[in-house]
Chains A and B, each alone.
Chain A
Amino acid sequence: MSLVSSKTVLGIAAAASLAAAAQAATEISGAGATFPYPVYAKWADAYKKETGVGLNYQSIGSGGGIKQIKAKTVTFGASDKPLEPAELKESGLVQFPMIIGGVVPVINVRGIQGGQITLDGAAIASIYLGEITKWNDPRIKKLNPTAALPATAIAPVYRSDGSGTNFLFTDYLSKSSAKFKESIGANASVQWPVGIGAKGNEGVANMTTQTDGAIGYVEYAYAKQNSMAYAKLINRGGKAVVPSAETFQAAAANADWTHAPGYYLILTDQPGAASWPITGASFILVYSNPPNAGETAQALKFFDWAYRNGGKMAAELDYVPLPDGLIKQIRATWKADIKGIPAMAAN
């Protein structure tokens, strides 16, 4: 595409967007991931009080969000699983991360309190492959030489509904175990060879607390608010880490965003001594050449406001805001890649 024509398009689109903005649609429409829904809702509430512009976000799942933005029925889509750069290009979408969260392994082993057991990706993968079946298996003992591990059978619990939590967890296990990658793989839902499937975070949490010897995985906020017994994990740096806002943010900060086209980066198993290995970002999708530039501009204004003011609200809900460097990079992406939107104030 020639420079001149793209500039002209930009100019016309900008003028159109100003006109559209003047009409001021009072609602931004979006659809997608359920995982970030609580924080988007909280932001939207505060934003509406401040500006009068509301957000209509349907938390129908990442798959649904991708389908809806492709059908152009919403202004933005939200997905826990980033689209690959090739797919972004093909469908003319721009993608950027919005918020960070983590997945935490939770256990129910008699005599073991939260944080008293350490696991690594390979051990968890073996458990979910049905290769480790007892809590006193030598492979778990090796990671916990001092813990009094019982001979209880392990009951693996998994999320039965397709979800970003599943994707992050299976992606982490696939990175940790070649066998898991080969026989199961990473996806929002996979075919588990063993264990029992429970619906939603609440189902997994309930099954885990009810079943002696169970292991499960839930979103961090859920584990924390219900003070569930979690397991520490050994990260890529070889250190045992505790799930917390700091370790999630470390994973996001240590990730190499500058060399990730379309922000296609899955935050599991990132380098750094303090990084929590099952961290993930939730993404937003908008059109690079939006069918209605005014609406997209309004959505971006909301996201910009959230980056600026939303950190504390996110932390209250146990989500983790993006690191500052990354936010700067995202603003640059908006400016370069999305046509017909007014520039956001720098800083």
Chain B
Amino acid sequence: MNSAVIEADSQHAAGQRLRESIFRGATLVAALLVLTLLGGVMLSLLKGSWPAFSHFKLQFLTREIWNPVTDQFGALAAVYGTVITSLIAMLIAIPVSFGIAIFLTELAPPWLKRPVGVAIELLAAVPSIIFGIWGLFVLAPLLQRHVQPWLIDLLGPLPLIGKLFQGPPFGIGVLTASVVLAIMVLPFISAVMRDVFETVPDVLKESGYGLGATTWEVIWKVVVPYTRTGIVGGIMLGLGRALGETMAVTFVIGNAHRISPSLLGPGTTISASIANEFTEAVGDLYTSSLIALGALLFLITFSVIAGARLLLLRLDRRALSSV
């Protein structure tokens, strides 16, 4: 009787082992699938962009020209537009998101926490085309009539930064695209920041307060250092979205393949150019140049992520050595 129980047990165990190994295999396949997909994307980007890179060589990166009629292509304007709109968007979104997250976790009265939190999550669920249309029909006229003329009058005559705010107020342009992007990435950054701020153990904060620290000091000396990795992660998530955002930007950036010194002027981004032109691109070199733009975006996003990792590594090392 005893032996029967043991046998049943060992059978049970064998079944469990089998199930476990199947599960392990399945997760391994899922993980490998990601690598395969990524490799496939890289390969096809390289293959598709090869004609453009081999034809224009380094000039593809250094020229502003984008002329489908004469088959002359350079990525500089699109790369510049991608980087500048994302940077300005982060400049606006990071402080605001930080404020939202701090308010929600440290300062807000409990009855306000939930509605604001839910509102931010809803903002993250709005499709980008809606932001594009809203930017074009609502935000652009508003900026054109009330904000841009003021910027031009106030900042336009200044030395150095004046150049950034000159020209006619079109309503759409690099600045408008950046503002729309900032609004789009804001919920992502603030949601991540809020979540990581909530992981700070109360005992740490209370010790700070117990030592007589102000709220300000607790936030800067306890909460932020404790959640550094998470904050950088949230920012990178937002930046990644800003770099690749297509539809909303296409609507409001003005789609001109040139680098205008003014932020009010039109520009273009990598993804906006691809969305605008790929369907009607005829000719191998044209198509290949658009794919090459995609490869560059891949490279930019990759370097951003790699840069963030390096930054975090260094921060961790410094934190360790200071301990």
Please list the residues of chain A having a beta carbon within 8 angstroms of any beta carbon in chain B: 60-64, 66, 153, 155, 160-163, 184-192, 195-199, 203, 206-207, 210-211
Contact = CB atoms under 8 A, between A and B. Distances in A.
Interface string B234-269: 000000000000000011001111000000001010
Contacts of B266: 195-197
A188 B278 CA distance: 11
B68 A191 contact: yes
Interface of B: 65-70, 136-137, 140-141, 144, 168, 170-173, 250-251, 254-257, 266, 268, 272, 275-277, 279-282
Contacts, number: 92
B276 A66 contact: no
Nearest to B73: A191
Contacts of B275: 161
Given A187-B69, A199-B255, 18 more contacts: A63-B279, A66-B282, A162-B68, A184-B69, A188-B282, A189-B68, A190-B69, A191-B65, A191-B66, A191-B68, A196-B266, A197-B254, A197-B255, A197-B256, A198-B136, A203-B136, A203-B251, A211-B171
B265 to A, nearest CB: 8
B69 A161 contact: no
A184 B68 CA distance: 9
A187 B277 CA distance: 11
B114 to A, nearest CB: 38
B277 A161 contact: yes
A206 B257 CA distance: 21
A153 B69 CA distance: 28
Contacts of B255: 160, 196-199
Contacts of A196: 170, 172-173, 254-256, 266
A19 to B, nearest CB: 36
Nearest to B272: A160
B175 to A, nearest CB: 13
B256 A63 contact: no
25 contacts: A64-B279, A66-B282, A160-B272, A161-B275, A162-B280, A185-B70, A186-B69, A187-B69, A188-B282, A189-B277, A190-B68, A191-B65, A191-B67, A191-B257, A196-B173, A197-B256, A197-B276, A199-B276, A203-B136, A203-B251, A206-B137, A207-B170, A210-B140, A210-B144, A211-B171
B170 A192 contact: no
Given A186-B69, A187-B69, A210 B141 contact: yes
Nearest to B273: A160
A192 B280 contact: no
Contacts of A163: 280
B67 A190 contact: yes
Nearest to B140: A210
B4 to A, nearest CB: 64
Q: What are the 5 A-B residue pairs with the smallest beta carbon separation, nearest first? A: A162-B280, A197-B255, A61-B279, A160-B255, A185-B69
B235 to A, nearest CB: 29
A211 B69 contact: no
A156 to B, nearest CB: 11
Given A155-B168, A211-B171, A63 B68 contact: no
Contacts of B172: 196, 198, 207
Contact of B170 (A184, A187, A190, A211): A211
Contacts of B136: 198, 203, 206
Contacts of A64: 279-280
Contacts of A210: 140-141, 144, 171
Given A188-B280, A203-B136, A160 B250 contact: yes
B194 to A, nearest CB: 34
Contacts of A66: 282
A162 B173 contact: no
Contacts of B68: 162, 187-191
Contacts of B171: 207, 210-211
A196 B258 CA distance: 11
Contacts of B281: 63, 162
A206 to B, nearest CB: 6
Contacts of B69: 184-187, 190-191
Contacts of B168: 153, 155
Contacts of B141: 210
Contacts of B67: 190-191
A316 B136 CA distance: 30
Contacts of B251: 199, 203
A285 to B, nearest CB: 13
A198 B256 CA distance: 9
B214 to A, nearest CB: 48
A160 B276 contact: yes
Nearest to A194: B256
B99 to A, nearest CB: 32
A187 B256 CA distance: 16
A188 B255 CA distance: 14
A163 to B, nearest CB: 6
B27 to A, nearest CB: 37
Contacts of A197: 254-256, 266, 268, 276
Contacts of A207: 170-172
A155 B257 CA distance: 17
Contacts of A190: 67-69
A186 B282 CA distance: 13
Contact of A211 (B66, B144, B282): B144
Contacts of B250: 160, 199
A60 B254 contact: no
> Which residue of B171, B275, B282 has the most chain A CB atoms within 10 A of its CB atom?
B282
Nearest to A66: B282
A192 B173 CA distance: 15
